[in-house]
Amino acid sequence: MLVGLICLPSLAAPVWGQETSGFGGVQSLGFSVSYSPDSSHILIGDAGQRRIWTAGAEYTHLLRQLQIFRLDYEASLMPFFLESDPTVTGTFFTVDGATFNMPQSPVRVVRVDHGPVGTVSTGSGSPTPLYALFGRENSYAVAVCPLGGRINALPRSRIQPSFAVDLGFIASARDLPIDQSSQFNFTFAMGPGIQFFPDARTSLRIEYIYRHISNAGLGAQNPGIDQGVVRLTVSRHR
């Protein structure tokens, strides 16, 4: 990763300071927010029903521009990374229309299962099914993606299709997404978007990306998170 960061300035040097035609300029600084309302097994992640909000800054630098596309280096810093995880907060059972709750300290779980988790004997015949009570807990982290790239088609158009790939890591105060996983996770994201240029110096981009989060075996457990993410970025270019 460090070798890649050292080499990137030299890759960008041939276009630095040159006049570029079309929209996008040579470099940009933007503000980006993203949201994912859920998680499921898309490719390799198993942790379900995670919600994640992020906010931060994005930097891009032109590496190559041709007639029909441009390639940019991309990096981002997300000091606000909020993850909402499902928890088991207790159990309950129902007898003769009355519900009895048995609370416990919240425990984050990989998946939410609404089926019976056991039985309880109430002295009234056959065992009564026992179900889990669910809640949610928030965890905060910081995400950094120093290695990324973006391809934009039609660089001379005000509306440009794009595709991005981002690689980075997430550091948190406690294990994510469950206990006994890891406070340090890696992240990989990729997906298409559309970038709009109301003028030569300003752009608005909306994307739908696939994001995977994993500790790569650093923790005792590694359920991983797969998500579809909506990301919105406003940038200034020069």
pLDDT tens digits, residue range 52-74? Answer: 999 999 999 999 999 999 999 99
- With beta carbons less than 8 A apart as the criterion, state whether 153 and 68 touch: yes
pLDDT of residue 121: 82
Using CA atoms, how far residue 39 sits from 69, 112, 133, 197, in Å, is 33, 11, 20, 32
H helices of 126-207, in order, are none
CA distance 229 to 114: 26
Judged against a pLDDT cut of 70, whether residue 223 lies above it is answered with yes
DSSP 181: S
**Average pLDDT, whole number, for the chain?**
91
Burial of 177-199, coded b for 16+ CB within 10 Å and e otherwise, reads bbeebbbbbbbebbbebebebee
Percentage of the chain exceeding pLDDT 90:
81
Q: Rounded to the nearest 5 degrees, what angle is found at the Cα of 222, between the Cα atoms of 220 and 225?
A: 155
The band of 15, judged by pLDDT with boundaries at 50, 70 and 90, is: very low
Whether a cis peptide bond, with omega within 30° of 0, leads into 146 is no
Judged against a pLDDT cut of 80, whether residue 12 lies above it is answered with no
Name all domains of the chain by residue range, CATH numbers in brackets.
23-85+146-237 (2.40.160.20), 87-136 (no CATH)
pLDDT of residue 124: 65
- With beta carbons less than 8 A apart as the criterion, state whether 167 and 89 touch: no
Judged against a pLDDT cut of 50, whether residue 16 lies above it is answered with no
CA distance 16 to 148: 19
pLDDT of residue 205: 98
- With beta carbons less than 8 A apart as the criterion, state whether 163 and 208 touch: no
pLDDT tens digits, residue range 90-141? Answer: 999 888 888 999 999 999 999 999 999 988 887 767 888 999 999 999 999 9
CA distance 135 to 163: 36
Judged against a pLDDT cut of 60, whether residue 17 lies above it is answered with no
- Which two structure tokens, joined as six digits, stand for 228? 């579809």
